[in-house]
Structure 1
Amino acid sequence: MSNLGGYQLLTTFAKKVGVPRNLVALIAGGGAIIGGLAVKGGERLWNKVKSKENKSDAVYTIMCDAKSNEGVFLRQGDKYRVLETDEDAVLIELLKNENNPYFVSQYLLENISNYNKNSDK
Protein backbone atom coordinates (compact mmCIF):
# COMPACT_ATOMS: atom_id res chain seq x y z
CA MET A 1 0.00 0.00 0.00
CA SER A 2 1.43 3.37 -1.00
CA ASN A 3 1.40 6.61 0.94
CA LEU A 4 1.95 8.72 -2.19
CA GLY A 5 -1.75 9.47 -2.77
CA GLY A 6 -1.77 12.66 -0.69
CA TYR A 7 1.56 13.81 -2.09
CA GLN A 8 0.36 13.22 -5.63
CA LEU A 9 -2.81 15.21 -4.96
CA LEU A 10 -0.81 18.16 -3.55
CA THR A 11 1.66 18.20 -6.44
CA THR A 12 -1.17 18.06 -8.97
CA PHE A 13 -2.97 20.95 -7.31
CA ALA A 14 0.28 22.95 -7.01
CA LYS A 15 0.82 22.56 -10.76
CA LYS A 16 -2.74 23.78 -11.44
CA VAL A 17 -2.17 27.01 -9.46
CA GLY A 18 1.25 27.64 -10.97
CA VAL A 19 3.98 27.02 -8.40
CA PRO A 20 4.06 25.61 -4.85
CA ARG A 21 4.39 29.16 -3.50
CA ASN A 22 0.91 29.96 -4.87
CA LEU A 23 -0.51 26.83 -3.22
CA VAL A 24 0.93 27.87 0.14
CA ALA A 25 -0.48 31.39 -0.32
CA LEU A 26 -3.93 29.98 -1.14
CA ILE A 27 -3.89 27.71 1.90
CA ALA A 28 -2.72 30.51 4.23
CA GLY A 29 -5.21 33.01 2.77
CA GLY A 30 -8.07 30.53 3.04
CA GLY A 31 -7.13 29.77 6.64
CA ALA A 32 -7.04 33.48 7.48
CA ILE A 33 -10.46 34.06 5.93
CA ILE A 34 -12.02 31.07 7.68
CA GLY A 35 -10.36 32.07 10.96
CA GLY A 36 -11.62 35.66 10.64
CA LEU A 37 -15.16 34.48 9.96
CA ALA A 38 -14.99 32.14 12.94
CA VAL A 39 -13.82 34.96 15.22
CA LYS A 40 -16.60 37.30 14.02
CA GLY A 41 -19.19 34.57 14.51
CA GLY A 42 -17.84 33.85 17.98
CA GLU A 43 -17.97 37.54 18.91
CA ARG A 44 -21.60 37.79 17.79
CA LEU A 45 -22.53 34.69 19.75
CA TRP A 46 -20.66 35.96 22.84
CA ASN A 47 -22.39 39.34 22.67
CA LYS A 48 -25.81 37.67 22.41
CA VAL A 49 -25.09 35.42 25.39
CA LYS A 50 -23.60 38.29 27.38
CA SER A 51 -26.60 40.54 26.75
CA LYS A 52 -28.99 37.79 27.89
CA GLU A 53 -26.96 37.17 31.05
CA ASN A 54 -27.63 40.67 32.34
CA LYS A 55 -29.61 40.35 35.51
CA SER A 56 -31.73 43.35 34.67
CA ASP A 57 -32.48 45.27 31.50
CA ALA A 58 -33.70 48.22 33.55
CA VAL A 59 -31.79 51.47 33.11
CA TYR A 60 -31.42 53.74 36.14
CA THR A 61 -30.54 57.44 36.25
CA ILE A 62 -28.24 59.29 38.65
CA MET A 63 -30.14 62.24 40.18
CA CYS A 64 -27.18 64.09 41.77
CA ASP A 65 -23.38 64.06 41.60
CA ALA A 66 -21.59 61.71 43.97
CA LYS A 67 -18.31 59.90 44.52
CA SER A 68 -18.42 56.38 45.88
CA ASN A 69 -16.08 55.01 48.54
CA GLU A 70 -14.56 52.99 45.70
CA GLY A 71 -13.58 56.20 43.86
CA VAL A 72 -16.23 56.07 41.15
CA PHE A 73 -17.51 59.48 40.08
CA LEU A 74 -21.23 59.41 39.31
CA ARG A 75 -22.59 62.50 37.57
CA GLN A 76 -26.15 63.76 37.46
CA GLY A 77 -27.83 62.37 34.35
CA ASP A 78 -25.53 59.32 34.06
CA LYS A 79 -27.44 56.16 33.20
CA TYR A 80 -26.48 52.67 34.34
CA ARG A 81 -27.59 49.04 34.41
CA VAL A 82 -27.24 46.67 37.33
CA LEU A 83 -25.26 43.59 36.33
CA GLU A 84 -25.06 41.80 39.67
CA THR A 85 -25.71 42.36 43.36
CA ASP A 86 -24.15 40.82 46.45
CA GLU A 87 -25.42 42.09 49.78
CA ASP A 88 -24.48 45.81 49.77
CA ALA A 89 -22.21 45.65 46.69
CA VAL A 90 -23.77 46.35 43.30
CA LEU A 91 -21.92 45.76 40.04
CA ILE A 92 -23.03 48.40 37.55
CA GLU A 93 -22.39 49.21 33.91
CA LEU A 94 -22.30 52.95 33.28
CA LEU A 95 -23.75 53.51 29.83
CA LYS A 96 -21.51 55.39 27.37
CA ASN A 97 -18.45 54.61 29.53
CA GLU A 98 -15.60 52.39 28.32
CA ASN A 99 -14.15 51.60 31.76
CA ASN A 100 -16.91 49.27 32.94
CA PRO A 101 -17.97 47.63 35.22
CA TYR A 102 -17.87 49.28 38.64
CA PHE A 103 -18.72 48.11 42.15
CA VAL A 104 -20.80 50.66 44.06
CA SER A 105 -22.61 50.60 47.37
CA GLN A 106 -26.29 49.74 47.19
CA TYR A 107 -26.98 52.38 49.82
CA LEU A 108 -25.34 55.07 47.68
CA LEU A 109 -27.29 54.07 44.57
CA GLU A 110 -30.59 54.12 46.45
CA ASN A 111 -29.83 57.65 47.71
CA ILE A 112 -28.62 59.25 44.47
CA SER A 113 -30.68 57.46 41.81
CA ASN A 114 -34.00 55.80 41.13
CA TYR A 115 -32.52 52.38 42.03
CA ASN A 116 -34.25 50.23 44.64
CA LYS A 117 -32.80 46.89 45.74
CA ASN A 118 -36.19 45.23 45.27
CA SER A 119 -36.71 46.64 41.78
CA ASP A 120 -33.80 44.58 40.43
CA LYS A 121 -35.20 41.13 41.24
Structure 2
Amino acid sequence: MGNLGWYQLITTLAKKVGGPKVLLGLVAAGGYVIIRTAEAGGKKVVKLVKKKRESKIEETSLTTFIFTETGVGDGGLKYFEGESFFVAATHNDVILIEKENDKDNPYFVSGDWLKKVSTYM
Protein backbone atom coordinates (compact mmCIF):
# COMPACT_ATOMS: atom_id res chain seq x y z
CA MET A 1 0.00 0.00 0.00
CA GLY A 2 2.97 2.30 0.31
CA ASN A 3 3.26 5.24 2.63
CA LEU A 4 -0.11 6.79 1.73
CA GLY A 5 -2.16 4.31 3.78
CA TRP A 6 -5.82 5.27 4.24
CA TYR A 7 -5.59 8.16 1.77
CA GLN A 8 -4.74 5.76 -1.04
CA LEU A 9 -7.56 3.40 -0.01
CA ILE A 10 -10.13 6.22 0.04
CA THR A 11 -9.03 7.62 -3.32
CA THR A 12 -9.16 4.14 -4.87
CA LEU A 13 -12.69 3.59 -3.54
CA ALA A 14 -13.78 7.03 -4.73
CA LYS A 15 -12.55 6.27 -8.25
CA LYS A 16 -14.43 2.93 -8.29
CA VAL A 17 -17.78 4.51 -7.33
CA GLY A 18 -17.54 7.60 -9.52
CA GLY A 19 -15.82 10.27 -7.43
CA PRO A 20 -15.58 11.62 -3.90
CA LYS A 21 -19.08 13.16 -3.89
CA VAL A 22 -20.66 9.82 -4.77
CA LEU A 23 -18.53 8.07 -2.13
CA LEU A 24 -19.62 10.56 0.55
CA GLY A 25 -23.25 10.14 -0.53
CA LEU A 26 -23.00 6.35 -0.27
CA VAL A 27 -21.36 6.55 3.16
CA ALA A 28 -24.03 9.00 4.39
CA ALA A 29 -26.91 6.90 3.01
CA GLY A 30 -25.46 3.70 4.47
CA GLY A 31 -24.97 5.34 7.87
CA TYR A 32 -28.53 6.69 7.82
CA VAL A 33 -29.97 3.24 7.04
CA ILE A 34 -27.91 1.59 9.80
CA ILE A 35 -28.86 4.21 12.40
CA ARG A 36 -32.58 4.12 11.54
CA THR A 37 -32.60 0.32 11.66
CA ALA A 38 -30.90 0.31 15.07
CA GLU A 39 -33.31 2.99 16.32
CA ALA A 40 -36.37 1.01 15.21
CA GLY A 41 -35.03 -2.16 16.84
CA GLY A 42 -34.21 -0.26 20.03
CA LYS A 43 -37.73 1.18 20.22
CA LYS A 44 -39.22 -2.30 19.86
CA VAL A 45 -37.03 -3.63 22.66
CA VAL A 46 -38.00 -0.73 24.93
CA LYS A 47 -41.71 -1.33 24.25
CA LEU A 48 -41.37 -5.04 25.02
CA VAL A 49 -39.50 -4.36 28.26
CA LYS A 50 -42.08 -1.78 29.39
CA LYS A 51 -44.94 -4.13 28.53
CA LYS A 52 -43.31 -6.99 30.43
CA ARG A 53 -42.61 -4.77 33.46
CA GLU A 54 -46.20 -3.42 33.52
CA SER A 55 -47.71 -6.91 33.30
CA LYS A 56 -45.43 -8.09 36.11
CA ILE A 57 -46.46 -5.17 38.33
CA GLU A 58 -50.15 -5.75 37.63
CA GLU A 59 -49.91 -9.45 38.46
CA THR A 60 -48.36 -8.93 41.89
CA SER A 61 -50.31 -5.83 42.91
CA LEU A 62 -53.71 -7.34 42.18
CA THR A 63 -53.05 -10.54 44.08
CA THR A 64 -54.07 -10.87 47.72
CA PHE A 65 -52.08 -13.24 49.92
CA ILE A 66 -53.05 -14.61 53.34
CA PHE A 67 -50.95 -15.34 56.41
CA THR A 68 -51.18 -19.02 57.41
CA GLU A 69 -49.71 -18.49 60.90
CA THR A 70 -49.86 -16.02 63.78
CA GLY A 71 -46.72 -14.33 65.06
CA VAL A 72 -44.38 -11.37 65.07
CA GLY A 73 -41.84 -10.77 62.29
CA ASP A 74 -38.82 -8.56 61.96
CA GLY A 75 -39.42 -4.82 62.13
CA GLY A 76 -42.48 -5.09 64.36
CA LEU A 77 -44.73 -6.84 61.86
CA LYS A 78 -47.54 -8.51 63.81
CA TYR A 79 -49.53 -10.91 61.70
CA PHE A 80 -52.47 -13.19 62.38
CA GLU A 81 -53.67 -16.32 60.64
CA GLY A 82 -56.19 -15.43 57.93
CA GLU A 83 -55.03 -11.80 57.66
CA SER A 84 -54.49 -10.62 54.07
CA PHE A 85 -51.77 -8.49 52.48
CA PHE A 86 -50.61 -7.20 49.10
CA VAL A 87 -47.14 -7.22 47.59
CA ALA A 88 -46.24 -3.63 46.73
CA ALA A 89 -42.73 -4.25 45.36
CA THR A 90 -40.00 -6.88 45.18
CA HIS A 91 -36.24 -6.65 44.81
CA ASN A 92 -34.25 -9.87 44.92
CA ASP A 93 -35.23 -11.43 48.29
CA VAL A 94 -36.63 -8.21 49.81
CA ILE A 95 -40.40 -7.74 49.54
CA LEU A 96 -42.44 -4.68 50.44
CA ILE A 97 -45.88 -5.70 51.69
CA GLU A 98 -48.96 -3.80 52.83
CA LYS A 99 -51.43 -5.38 55.23
CA GLU A 100 -55.08 -4.49 54.87
CA ASN A 101 -56.36 -1.96 57.43
CA ASP A 102 -52.95 -1.44 59.06
CA LYS A 103 -51.86 2.10 59.95
CA ASP A 104 -48.18 1.05 60.21
CA ASN A 105 -47.86 0.01 56.54
CA PRO A 106 -45.64 -0.81 54.66
CA TYR A 107 -43.30 -3.55 55.88
CA PHE A 108 -40.07 -4.90 54.39
CA VAL A 109 -39.78 -8.69 54.75
CA SER A 110 -37.68 -11.54 53.42
CA GLY A 111 -39.12 -13.55 50.55
CA ASP A 112 -38.07 -16.87 52.08
CA TRP A 113 -39.70 -15.97 55.40
CA LEU A 114 -42.89 -14.79 53.69
CA LYS A 115 -43.19 -18.08 51.80
CA LYS A 116 -43.08 -19.97 55.12
CA VAL A 117 -45.79 -17.98 56.91
CA SER A 118 -48.23 -17.19 54.08
CA THR A 119 -49.71 -18.25 50.76
CA TYR A 120 -47.09 -16.15 48.92
CA MET A 121 -45.30 -18.21 46.28
TM-score normalised by structure 2 residue count: 0.48
> Which has the larger Rg?
2
TM-score normalised by structure 1 residue count: 0.48
Is the helix fraction higher in 1 or 2? 2
